[in-house]
């Protein structure tokens, strides 16, 4: 009997799934930190946000480093460090400095792997249809984002030691990912590069990226308000609050996974259609959120969650595909890194909305501002697509033409 060996891109996708799991598992446990050790709202907000402090520079450096030294050399060490960060969360579960170090390390692992491994999947998918690599990378990451907090939240709800046991699945998964990734061949860079590691590729300053990709990118993770903002603005206290947070996160991000094949078909039908649908979905989701707060209904928050998730999935797939089209082959990693850095701006949405509410707008007024902003971004992308695209709905041939296969190490 012959044993089927996973294709190389599938091995990289397993690693992305594992790191994505570790990236988001913390979010569903915020209430558990409050209930178990009395952690304040300000401290929880700090620990949630310090992840981005490690992530954004790692995104920019990791993508460029993989362009210079090769994907495998950059990705593998940080796949190894991802479960190490989770072990630190377990060991330092009552120490704010220890948790901060763990979250900072988790952010650095996520930043390097999300950018460099997405480019690696693209390198290993050059013989497949245009857009396939973007879909594969987005599904792997989104599946990890959704399942991590869902499983962690459910375990924490029933475990007598929620701040320790809930993290064990990721430690196991991280070890499996290391074993799976080790045999994967690493494409070498096409040519040696002496360019600085921390750089912004020139393509990201040009009109197509600024008007077609940048306006929609933050709305990818704007979906965080469905589980990190709306539940905190509802009155009362739901039963099983940790499980509720985990389920809400799982629904939001799980829908983002399920919608991605449809998003690809939308983009195949008409260039950037999925991104436009995603922006419209973000506006609709915030409108449902306003209604949920108006009538104080958790059922409406649950209804908004898959809409947020659909917006997330559509904007992710469309943004990655457009980034692939625009990026020069020798700067793919760095360009993908800029796209991901822009998507993580959306993680600031709960805090921005909170600040707007504190200025006198109230939670519903803050959401109304977000709805208007989503509509404005939709107008920008739609108008720019009409002005910048070639006649018809098919992207320019040079944009979808696969890059030459990288040399194998």
Q: Lowest mean pLDDT: which of 112-116, 129-133, 207-211, 352-356?
A: 129-133
Q: What is the mean pLDDT of the chain?
A: 80
Q: Lowest mean pLDDT: which of 275-279, 281-285, 312-316, 332-336?
A: 332-336
C-alpha to C-alpha distances, 282 to 22, 132, 236, 313, nearest whole angstrom: 25, 24, 26, 11
To which H or E segment does residue 114 belong?
Answer: helix 96-123
Is pLDDT of 380 > 80? yes
Domain ranges of the chain: 8-183+201-393
Cβ–Cβ under 8 Å, residues 285 and 226: yes
Q: For tokens 């990655």, what's the residue? A: 320
Architecture of the CATH domain 8-183+201-393: Up-down Bundle (1.20)
d(CA 269, CA 14): 29
Confidence of residue 235 (pLDDT cuts 50, 70, 90): low
Share of the chain above pLDDT 70, in %: 86
Q: For residue range 151-192, list pLDDT tens digits in order.
A: 888 898 888 888 899 999 999 999 999 998 888 776 666 555
Going by the DSSP 8-state scheme, the letter that residue 272 receives in this structure is T
Confidence of residue 19 (pLDDT cuts 50, 70, 90): very high
The pLDDT, as a whole number, for residue 373 is 93
Is pLDDT of 197 > 70? no
365: exposed, middle or buried (Cβ count in 10 Å: 0-12, 13-18, 19+) = middle
Average pLDDT score over residue span 63-67: 74
- Count H helices and E strands in the chain, helices first: 19, 0
Average pLDDT score over residue span 380-399: 63
Average pLDDT score over residue span 37-44: 76
Q: For residue range 91-132, list pLDDT tens digits in order.
A: 988 888 899 999 999 989 988 888 788 878 877 776 666 667
């Amino acid at each position: 009997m012959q044993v089927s060996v996973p294709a190389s891109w599938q091995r990289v996708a397993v690693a992305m799934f594992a790191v994505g799991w570790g990236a988001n598992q913390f979010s569903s446990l915020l209430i558990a930190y409050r209930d178990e050790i009395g952690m304040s709202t300000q401290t929880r907000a700090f620990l949630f946000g310090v992840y981005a402090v490690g992530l954004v520079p790692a995104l920019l450096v990791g993508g460029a480093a993989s362009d210079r030294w090769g994907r495998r050399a950059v990705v593998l060490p940080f796949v190894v460090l991802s479960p190490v960060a989770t072990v630190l969360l377990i060991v330092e579960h009552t120490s704010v400095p220890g948790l901060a170090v763990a979250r900072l390390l988790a952010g650095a692992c996520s930043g390097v792997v999300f950018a460099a491994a997405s480019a690696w999947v693209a390198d290993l998918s050059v013989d497949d249809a245009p857009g396939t690599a973007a879909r594969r990378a987005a599904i792997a990451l989104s599946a990890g984002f959704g399942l991590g907090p869902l499983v962690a939240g459910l375990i924490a709800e029933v475990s007598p030691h929620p701040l320790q046991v809930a993290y064990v699945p990721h430690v196991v998964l991280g070890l499996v990912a290391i074993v799976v990734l080790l045999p994967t061949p690493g494409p070498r860079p096409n040519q040696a590069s002496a360019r600085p590691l921390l750089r912004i590729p020139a393509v990201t300053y040009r009109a197509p990226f600024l008007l077609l990709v940048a306006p929609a990118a933050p709305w990818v993770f704007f979906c965080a308000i469905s589980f990190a903002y709306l539940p905190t603005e509802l009155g009362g206290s739901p039963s099983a609050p940790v499980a509720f947070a985990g389920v809400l996160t799982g629904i939001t991000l799980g829908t983002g996974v399920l919608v991605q094949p449809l998003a690809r078909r939308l983009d195949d039908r008409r260039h950037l259609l999925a991104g436009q649908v995603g922006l419209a979905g973000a506006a609709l989701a915030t409108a449902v959120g306003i209604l949920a707060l108006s009538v104080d209904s958790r059922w409406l928050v649950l209804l908004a969650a898959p809409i947020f998730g659909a917006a997330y999935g559509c904007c992710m797939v469309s943004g990655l595909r457009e980034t692939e089209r625009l990026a020069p082959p020798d700067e793919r990693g760095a360009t993908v890194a800029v796209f991901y850095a822009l998507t993580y701006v959306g993680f600031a949405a709960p805090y921005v909305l909170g600040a707007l509410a504190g200025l006198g707008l109230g939670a519903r007024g803050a959401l109304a501002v977000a709805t208007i902003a989503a509509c404005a971004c939709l107008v920008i992308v739609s108008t720019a697509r009409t002005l910048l695209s070639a006649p018809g709905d098919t992207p320019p041939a040079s944009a979808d033409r696969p890059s030459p296969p990288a040399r194998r190490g």
